[in-house]
Amino acid sequence: MVNSNETSIQVIKNKGILSKLINFVRKLFGKNNSNYFSITKEETSTNKGNNSFFKSIKFEEDPDKQKLLAIQEELEKIGINKKNIFKLTNDLSASQKEKLELLYKEQINELEQSIEKSKNRIILIRKKLAENN
């Protein structure tokens, strides 16, 4: 008995998202679709404009900050006292000394906030344990 393809095999089309994506990519790259990938001079000029825009909003770290962090690290290594502070900060300008002071204040503030968060978390854990017992 000879079976034909029409009667014996039932074709099931896979309509999943993956198959749709694969079919889309095949259609996209299967033909010569040069209109999808054509780049005009106007588009390249806008890209250059975007690059300059991104560069203008790009965050640039204060160059003094690296130096101040190095001084801070050195102070912590050798010990913080008047002699060591004077030795390491003697060549700094007044504005750099102010920045160093602000750096310490920011770090202290961050540490205090971290301690408060930890205290609150401990209090919550203790309350939960008290409720469970």
pLDDT tens digits, residue range 70-103?
888 888 888 888 888 888 888 888 888 898 889 8
Question: Rounded to whole angstroms, how far apart are CA atoms 115 and 96?
Answer: 28
Short-list 107, 106, 93, 105, CA closest to 63: 93
SS (H, E, C) 38-53: CCCHHHHHHHHHHHHH
Predicted model pTM: 0.48
Per-residue pLDDT at 50:
62
Q: Which of the residues in the chain have pLDDT under 70?
A: 1-15, 29-51, 53-61
Per-residue pLDDT at 118:
96
Per-residue pLDDT at 37:
47
